[in-house]
Amino acid sequence: MSPSSSSPAVSERLARKASRHISERIIEATLFAAAAVSIFVTVAIVFILVRESVAFFQQVPVVDFLSDTQWTPLFDDAHFGILVLLSGTAVSSTVALAVAIPIGTTIAIFLSEFASQRTRETAKPILELLAGMPTVVFGYFALMFVTPLLQELMPELPGFNLLSAGLVMGIMIVPIVSSIAEDAMRAVPMALREGSYAMGATRLQTAFYVVLPAAVSGIGAAYILGIARAVGETMILAIAAGMQPKLTFDPREPAATITAFIVQVALGDLPHGSIGYQTIFAAGLTLMLFTLLFNILGFWLQRKYRERY
């Protein structure tokens, strides 16, 4: 090929390349803008949470907030012990996870390693339906169905209690845990399973000795997401657990959680800038810090296991 015949072709190709660069840059800019908006929104939320919380902590010392054992922000004798709300959140979340983690993991193992294609195709939409149900429905299910059922077994159980709300919340979280854990297990390469079968392992042995450990970081992520969902759940608790703030670790008692308190106050008509109004933000900030903590934990777990593999 002579240089004269090749050089226009080259410059033409370059020109086309340049124009492709422009369209690529537009796409890049759009994607960047989308990312920037979400970051901006997050920063704005954190900013407002922190600003209102700072105003709150100017009136209520942080020490009182963390150590007081009463939560009566709207009374004349106001107390602001966040532990009260945290205990409600902790108890209801623990009950929920005690349901969701074992059931969700079992379902994930079954669907990924044992179920036929057809069973899986039937089961997944049903689980997704469960996940897509409005939480109000779960709330009333807890209050009107599960609580009376539990009262048959425990006659002294009050009409509002953390146990019933936690159990139903657990059922609600099952699909989240099972679907993410199942995805993680299905992503385990077939070569690993074949290696295990070739050694004479059964399906059960393959699932527990090879697939589960190979999928551990994804399963961990599923649990963390389940925890985040439980800690943040509002409606079920507001409906079925009662809204009396109470420092308790007994799931049979009624109690308010952070989220339940926030809706309760937000639904009332508190004036802007009042201390009652600001408590929502302090409580919200606490909730956010906890969720952040779990996310960091999840991130750390994932990194740790990825390093080991």
Provide the binding-site residues for another protein, judged by CB under 8 A: 189, 191-202, 205, 209-210, 213-214, 216, 308-309
User: Rounded to the nearest whole angstrom, what is the least distance from the CB of residue 165 to another protein in the complex?
Assistant: 38
User: Rounded to the nearest whole angstrom, what is the least distance from the CB of residue 239 to another protein in the complex?
Assistant: 43
- 119 neighbors 217 (Cβ within 8 angstroms): no
Closer CB to another protein, residue 193 or residue 246?
A: 193
Fill in the DSSP letter of residue 244: -
Please list, in sequence order, all residues whose beta carbon lies within 8 angstroms of the beta carbon of residue 230, skipping any fewer than 6 positions away. 92, 93, 96, 97, 100, 169, 170, 173
User: Rounded to the nearest whole angstrom, what is the least distance from the CB of residue 179 to another protein in the complex?
Assistant: 22
Give 3-state DSSP helix, strand, coil % of the chain, rounded to 5.
80, 0, 20
Closer CB to another protein, residue 7 or residue 205?
A: 205
Closer CB to another protein, residue 128 or residue 194?
A: 194
User: Rounded to the nearest whole angstrom, what is the least distance from the CB of residue 181 to another protein in the complex?
Assistant: 16
Could you tell me if residue 56 is left (phi over 0), alpha (psi between -120 and 50 degrees) or otherwise beta?
A: alpha
Closer CB to another protein, residue 150 or residue 192?
A: 192
Burial of 161 (0-12, 13-18, 19+ CB in 10 A): buried
Closer CB to another protein, residue 150 or residue 216?
A: 216
First to last CA, the chain: 52
* Alpha-helix residue ranges (DSSP H) falling in 60-116: 62-67, 82-109
User: Rounded to the nearest whole angstrom, what is the least distance from the CB of residue 186 to another protein in the complex?
Assistant: 15
User: Rounded to the nearest whole angstrom, what is the least distance from the CB of residue 222 to another protein in the complex?
Assistant: 17
Closer CB to another protein, residue 194 or residue 250?
A: 194
Rounded Cα distance, 213 and 185, in Å: 9
